[in-house]
Amino acid sequence: MADQRIAVLASGRGTNLQSLLDRTSDGSIPGKVVLVVSDVQGANALERAEKSDVETRFLDYAVFSRKSDYEQALLEVLEEKQPDLICLAGYMRILGSAIVKRFEGRIMNIHPSLLPAFPGLEAQRQALEYGVKVTGCTVHFVDAGMDTGPIILQRSCPVLDEDTPETLAARILEIEHRLYPLAVRLFFENKLESRGRRVYIKEDGI
């Protein structure tokens, strides 16, 4: 199982990437990160990957005349590594249909809300403005929509009266760092079963 291959797409700090790197390194996840791709030059995620001797690629969206050209280039980069799983870790673009179709059922994302509530950007601010008392994070399979794919795992987080978007985001992030590696481990251990929009976890999965 240790030869399972993970490609990660990231646009920012890469803290969820780091949690995956740590858990593959200590054997908690039966696989390895073989590629990190970013659409942001100098993203901290790329630095984290390089420190772990993981191959990195920067794809500059601005040099492509059409979104479809960028997506084709990204698809070719991914195909080179033949990943068993693609993990989005703060990747700020919606994947095109060609990539979603090619790797159907093998792309995960983590989002800082209890989906379907508060999809898209600034989910923590959305939660505060709506006045919810509980939010959290969701790991889901990726489909063609924005944060609309089948839900794998969710964990809740209380919203405190004194919270700001920043303090709430920090607490949710601590949960993300535990939840995302768990979802990846379950995937590689074949303990996830998808039936339509429902993802079932086999009894001995957690």
Question: Which positions are annotated as active-site residues?
Answer: 111
Distance CA 60, CA 35 (A): 16
- Residue 63: DSSP 8-state: G
The answer to whether 195 and 186 have CB atoms below 8 angstroms apart is no
154: which strand partners? 138
Distances (CA, A) of 86 to 79, 91, 187: 11, 11, 11
DSSP 98-116: HHHHHTTT-EEEEESSSTT
How many CA atoms, within 13 angstroms, populate the side-chain half-sphere of residue 23?
21
Query: What's the token pair of residue 30?
Result: 């039966």
Distance CA 54, CA 36 (A): 7
Distance CA 14, CA 181 (A): 14
